[in-house]
Chain A
C-alpha cells in the first residue's frame, strides 16, 4: 500500500509537470468540454419556454442545475485512454510500460487524476459563473452531497475500467478510432448528455439502464439534484458496483490476452 501511495504520487507529479507544458492546448480542450453542456442547456431552456415553461419534469432552472452538475461529473469521470492506447500499441510505446514492475493502469489513473486537478482551476470558476448566469434550481444538502461524492468516485473508477478495457481492443485492431467514435456517440445519448434520460423514449431508457453510460454520468447528476428515490439510488449503486466488477474482470482478461498478442512493433 505504501508502495502504491509513493508510486502514485510520483506518477501524479510527473504527469502534472508534463501537462503543465501544454496549458494552452488544455485550455482549448476545456472550452469544448464547457461549451457542450451550455449548448444543450440553451437548447432545452428554449424548448421549455416554447412549451409553456417545462419539458417533462424539467423547468429551465432544473435544466440549468442538471447541466451544470453534468458538466462537473463528466469532467471528473471522463478519460482519453482509448485514444492513447491506439497510439501506444501502434507505435510500440507500450514496451516501456511492459518493462516496468508495475501494472500500467496505475500510471494512467494517476495521470487522469493529475489532469483533473489541473483543470479544476478552470471548471470550478466556470461552474460558479454559470450558477449566477442561469440561476439553477439546486439545493445543497450535506447528506445528498456525501452520497453524491461516493457515486462520483465509483463512476470515475467504473468508467475508467470500462474505457481501459475498450482501449485494449487496440491490441487486436491496431487502429481503434471507429470503436472510439461509436462509444462516444452511444455515450452522448445514453449517459444523459444530450438530454436527461427520463425525457427519452422508453426503449432508450431501458437500454440506458442496462448499459454502463447512465451509471457513469447521469446517475450521480440526478442523485445530486435530488430527483431519485431511495430505491433508485440503491439500484444505481448496485449497477455501478456490477459494472465496476465487470470492468475489472474484463481488464484482467483483455490485458492477459492482449499482451500475448502484442508484437512490440517498431525498432
Chain B
C-alpha cells in the first residue's frame, strides 16, 4: 500500500485524507453549490431548432446531489443504481475526467480533476462500453505503448503480464489485432491493459456488460484476486447482481443523483427486504400452505413461501411440526428483488 499524499491541510481535508481513506466523495449537499453541468437545452422540433440559433438556453444539470462517501484502502464497493442514476458521472468525477462545479473529492490524497501524474499513475478507469486498445494493431503492441506511458520497467512488465496471463488466459490473444477479438476477449484485454501499471484504485464501470456467464465469472474472479493480491481499492458499477454479490461486501446505491443506501450488502437485504423465502419439499402433493405465509409458487410437492422475517422461526417450526416435510430451506430473496424494492421506495 502506498502512502497517500497529503494535500494542503485545511480542517476539512485533514479529515478526508486519513490513511484509512482512499476515496472521499463529498460534493456539497445543497444547491447551488452541488456539482452541476451546464447543458444546452432545446425543445424538440424544427421550430425550436431555429429559435435556438438566436437564443440559446442552457440549464444546470445536477448529475449528483446528495452523495457523500468514503472508501477505505482495499475495499471493494459496489456502486448501484438504475440507468441514469449518476453512477458513470460519479466515476468520471472520481477519475478526473469531469470537473465538478462544487464540493470536495479526494482520491489517494489527490483532487482528481487536477490530473496530477502521480494520481493518474495510481488509478485506472475501465468502462465496459469504451475501449482504450488500438483497434487495428495487436494487443501486445497496445500493451507495450502503455508500458512506456506508465514507465513500467521491462522486468516489472513481464512479471505483471505473466500474472495477468495466468489469471485471464490472454496468451492466444496478445498477437491478434483488437478488431479480430470477440467482445469477451476484448474485455479481458481491456482490463489487462488498464491494470498493467498496477493501479491502487480501480474504477470499473460495468466491466462485465454484454459478456456471457462464463466470461463474467472469469472477470469477477480475476477482480477479486487482483484486489486480494494488491490490496487495491475497487469501486464497481454493474447491473449484474452476481458481480456485486461475489465481490462487494459494501454497496452504495444512488438514484436520481442521490444516495439511497451505503452499507453492508447484508444490512441492505435486512433493511429493504423484511421477508424471507422458505422452500419446503413435502411428501404430499399440492398442499395448501396459505395459512403459513404468502405462497409464491407451488409445483408438485415443492412450495415456496414468503414470510415476514420476524416470523421465520415460528413458521419454520410449525411447518416441521405439522407437515410431512422432506426438505426445508430458508433463503433471502434474490438481491435483484431487494434492489428493486430500494428504488421503488
B134 pairs with A10, CB closer than 8 A: no
B120 pairs with A7, CB closer than 8 A: no
B92 at the interface (CB under 8 A from A): yes
A100 pairs with B120, CB closer than 8 A: yes
Residues of B within 8 A of A264 (CB): 92, 97-98
Looking at the complex, which of B23-31, B67-75, B121-129, B162-170 is the stretch in contact with chain A?
Answer: B121-129
B96 pairs with A101, CB closer than 8 A: no
A101 pairs with B150, CB closer than 8 A: yes
Type the 1/0 row for A2-15, where 1 means its CB is closer than 8 Å to any CB of B: 01001101110110
Bound form: Cα–Cα A117–B121 in Å: 31
Contacting A at CB under 8 A, from B190-222, are 205
B120 pairs with A267, CB closer than 8 A: no
B156 at the interface (CB under 8 A from A): no
Contacting B at CB under 8 A, from A250-267, are 259-260, 262-264, 266-267
Contact among B88, B113, B132, B134 with A18 in the assembled complex (CB-CB below 8 Å): B134
Residues of B within 8 A of A18 (CB): 134, 136-137
Number of B interface residues in the complex (CB < 8 A): 37
Contact among B98, B115, B144 with A263 in the assembled complex (CB-CB below 8 Å): B98
Bound form: Cα–Cα A224–B115 in Å: 44
B95 pairs with A99, CB closer than 8 A: yes
A92 pairs with B137, CB closer than 8 A: no
Bound form: Cα–Cα A2–B195 in Å: 23
B88 pairs with A267, CB closer than 8 A: yes
Residues of B within 8 A of A14 (CB): 134, 137, 141-142, 144-145
A229 at the interface (CB under 8 A from B): no
Residues of B within 8 A of A10 (CB): 144-145, 147-149
Type the 1/0 row for B68-111, where 1 means its CB is closer than 8 Å to any CB of A: 00000000000000000000100010011111000000000000
Residues of B within 8 A of A260 (CB): 99, 113
Contact among A3, A13, A262 with B97 in the assembled complex (CB-CB below 8 Å): A262
Bound form: Cα–Cα A13–B146 in Å: 12
Residues of B within 8 A of A9 (CB): 148
A98 at the interface (CB under 8 A from B): yes
Residues of B within 8 A of A11 (CB): 145, 148
For residue B61, which residue of chain A has the nearest CB?
Answer: A263
B148 pairs with A99, CB closer than 8 A: no
A265 to chain B, nearest CB (A): 10
For residue A5, which residue of chain B has the nearest CB?
Answer: B148
A102 at the interface (CB under 8 A from B): yes
B residues apposed to A, CB below 8 Å: 37, 39, 88, 92, 95-99, 113, 115, 117, 120-121, 123-125, 127-130, 132, 134, 136-138, 141-142, 144-145, 147-151, 177, 205
- A sample of 22 inter-chain contacts (CB < 8 A) reads A9-B148, A10-B145, A10-B149, A11-B148, A17-B137, A18-B134, A18-B136, A21-B137, A99-B95, A99-B120, A99-B124, A100-B149, A102-B117, A262-B97, A262-B98, A263-B39, A263-B98, A264-B98, A266-B129, A266-B130, A267-B130, A267-B205
